[in-house]
A and B are shown apart, each in its own frame.
Chain A
Amino acid sequence: MRSKPILTVLHRLAILAYVVFALFPLFWLLKVSVTPNDLLYSEGVRMWPSRTTFEHYSFVIAHSAFPTFFKNSLIVAGSTAVTVTILASLAGYALSRFNFRAKYWIVALMLITQMFPLVMLVAPIFKMLSPLGLTNSLPGLVLVYTAFNVPFATFLMQSFFDGIPKDLEEAAMIDGATQFVAFRQIILPLTLPGIAATLGFVFTAAWSELLFALMLISGNDASTFPVGLLTFVSKFSVDFGQMMAAGVLALIPACLFFLLIQRYLVQGLTAGAVKG
């Protein structure tokens, strides 16, 4: 379709405005993190400091507990993402391919978990996990995060499975495979984009979770990044440079994952509608 040049210009300007709006806070984070302490206040509103430094980064990495937080978060988010993706692939496959009596109850159960306030679970989960020794422990966090993320991940995987023709498993089953073998050898390899999207989505969610981490974790040893950064904010005299350096570090894995998977995410949401 032809369009008037003025409209094209407006369209590009609007896009530009969105990009600036989306990136500016992140840019500011980066800017303060490389601003030397003595320039922090005098050049507070300048777009870029006259001198830059990486001393905040080196301090955070060498002299603070952040490397521990980083490692903890990586373990928690990584294990959660892998576990959720495995469970959600299985469950999503069941919802996509089988007609069984409890299907609608399962879907309803999963939808309900998306509706109620998770804060409501803070107290009971704490009470349940503490006799099991799972408070103040990374496995405890993984368990909780896995459960929280399985429902949405299941729906996401289901929509990817729905986009794969049923003929393929049937062909495999006639070729001599059981349904499970067909699932593993034929369907899963074709769902790699979906698996990537789910991994990335869950990783980001687990990397970001704050409330339950605050509630369940008390010592530095098992703190995840959000908890560490927040205690950092309240405990020390505010050193903005260091905090923002830590913030930038916290941002890196989540953003990397997201950039890798974001196009699959749109594809996953479209898949059911377009291919079906």
Chain B
Amino acid sequence: MTLAAHSHAAKPLRKRIADASEPYLYSAPALILIIGVMLVPLVLGISYAFRDIQLLNPFSGGFIGLDHFRALGQDEAFFRALRNTLWWTGASVFLQFLFGLILALLLDKPFAGRGLVQALVFLPWAVPSFLAGLNWAWLFNPVIGPLPHWLYALGLLDAPNNILSDPQLAMWGPIAANVWWGIPFFAITLLAALQAIPRDLYEAASIDGAGPVQRFLSITLPFLAPTIAITILLRTVWISNFADLIVVMTNGGPADRTQIVASYIFTQAFKRLDFGYASAIALVLLVLLLVYSLLIVLLRQTLLNKG
């Protein structure tokens, strides 16, 4: 009886532990690093939002409750940055997506030299963001860049001036750089999704008499929809956090017209060394982005349930 019970018992303890711990051993180094260098600082950062932390002030560090948030409520510059963030993110994502989708569709058709073309049009992605920023800043500079002259010749500008120093137009500078830099990301992701669509679906649709537009609407779009949704979601969050181009091209100016929340946080932390206030702003941004992501996910869920 004991013998039978023994033979039916679960595995020996040592083997069970060894089996169960194997996946954790593989993922532990990555996890420890993520927790140590991202999660702990995140929690610290959240706590800073409620503390008075100024790098050069040795007497700072006390808890001040919601003071930062009260100050934030009065901070005109923050609200302007919030509006600018909307404008910056909306325009960048929309244009990147639109041109990225067109590019992916163009590249999905086989043609001679496609590999080379693909490498060339995806190249901007490899350009370091700071260099992309500098590069476009130079292009917009009428002294050495051709863009102001071309825009003037086209009648889009009254004079060949630098739009980066024009408060009305300055935001278009970083947006243009961002679009140039970000198209490949959308194109690569969408191209990968396009190539996963079974070809015989198109053939079947053609035999059934569908034209190119109908094929696009009834096969391509529905297949791409999940990829589009997730890419746009991720990209929106990413771009609203993306301050490099603005820091490099305009540093928020002129007159804070291109200051977005992310670059504002950076200015507060880096230039004024007010870490507490910077963290409070960052926390607000984080909450806004979480709410946005949640809304998108909920929207997607409702749409899926309906469909």
Contacts and interface: CB of A to CB of B under 8 A. Distances in A.
Q: Taking the complex as a whole, does A directly touch B, i.e. does some CB pair lie under 8 Å apart? A: yes
Interface of A: 1, 11-12, 14-15, 18-19, 21-23, 25-26, 28-29, 32, 40-41, 44-45, 87-88, 90-91, 93-95, 97-98, 100, 102-103, 106, 109-110, 113-128, 143-144, 146-148, 150-151, 154, 179, 204, 207-208, 210-211, 214-215, 225-226, 229-230, 233, 240, 243-244, 247, 250-251, 254-255, 257-259, 262-263, 265-266, 269-270, 273-274
A127 B44 contact: yes
Given A122-B266, A229-B131, A247-B131, A117 B285 contact: yes
Q: Which 10 A-B pairs have the closest CB atoms?
A: A258-B126, A208-B128, A147-B37, A269-B192, A120-B282, A123-B275, A94-B26, A98-B23, A124-B41, A124-B44
B201 interface: no
B40 A128 contact: yes
Interface string B186-201: 0011011101100000
A193 to B, nearest CB: 14
Residue from A117, A247, A255, A263 with most neighbouring chain B CB atoms (10 Å): A117
B34 A117 contact: no
Nearest to A3: B109
Contacts of B144: 32, 40-41, 44, 240
B293 A115 contact: yes
Interface residues of B, number: 93
Given A120-B265, A257-B126, A22 B106 contact: no
B38 interface: yes
A102 B30 CA distance: 14
Contacts of B149: 45
Which residue of B53, B126, B265, B290 has the most chain A CB atoms within 10 A of its CB atom? B126
B117 interface: yes
B33 to A, nearest CB: 5
B35 to A, nearest CB: 8
A119 B124 contact: no
- Interface SS of A by simple majority: helix
Interface stretch (B9-17, B67-75, B88-96, B242-250): B242-250
B122 interface: yes
B161 interface: no
A102 B106 contact: no
Interface stretch (B133-141, B164-172, B299-307): B133-141
Contacts of A274: 195-196
B135 A266 contact: no
Contacts of B121: 15, 18-19, 22
B123 to A, nearest CB: 6
A94 B31 CA distance: 12
B143 to A, nearest CB: 6
A211 B37 contact: no
B276 to A, nearest CB: 8
Identify the interface centre among B24, B128, B129, B279: most chain A CB within 10 Å of its CB.
B128
Contacts of A262: 118-119, 122, 126
A13 B107 CA distance: 13
A16 to B, nearest CB: 9
A117 B265 contact: yes
10 contacts: A1-B206, A40-B143, A44-B144, A90-B29, A91-B26, A113-B39, A117-B240, A119-B243, A233-B134, A258-B125
Contact of B241 (A41, A119, A126, A147): A119
B296 to A, nearest CB: 12
B262 interface: yes
B151 interface: no
B109 A266 contact: no
A94 B29 CA distance: 12
Given A124-B41, A270-B195, A240 B23 contact: no
Instruction: Provide the main secondary structure of the chain B interface.
Output: helix
Contact of A29 (B37, B135, B285): B135
Contacts of B219: none
B298 interface: no
Interface in B260-307: 262, 265-266, 269-270, 275, 278-279, 282-283, 285-286, 289-290, 293
A36 to B, nearest CB: 13
Given A103-B23, A269-B188, A120 B129 contact: no
B196 A90 contact: no
Contact of B278 (A110, A123, A154): A123
B126 A204 contact: yes
Contacts of B33: 87, 143, 146-147, 150
Nearest to B261: A117
B59 interface: no
A90 B31 CA distance: 11
Nearest to A248: B131
A117 B262 contact: yes
Interface string B223-259: 0000000000010011011011001100000000000
Contacts of A1: 206
A220 to B, nearest CB: 17
Nearest to B206: A1
A67 B265 CA distance: 32
B138 A150 contact: no
Nearest to A243: B134
Contact of A120 (B36, B130, B279): B279
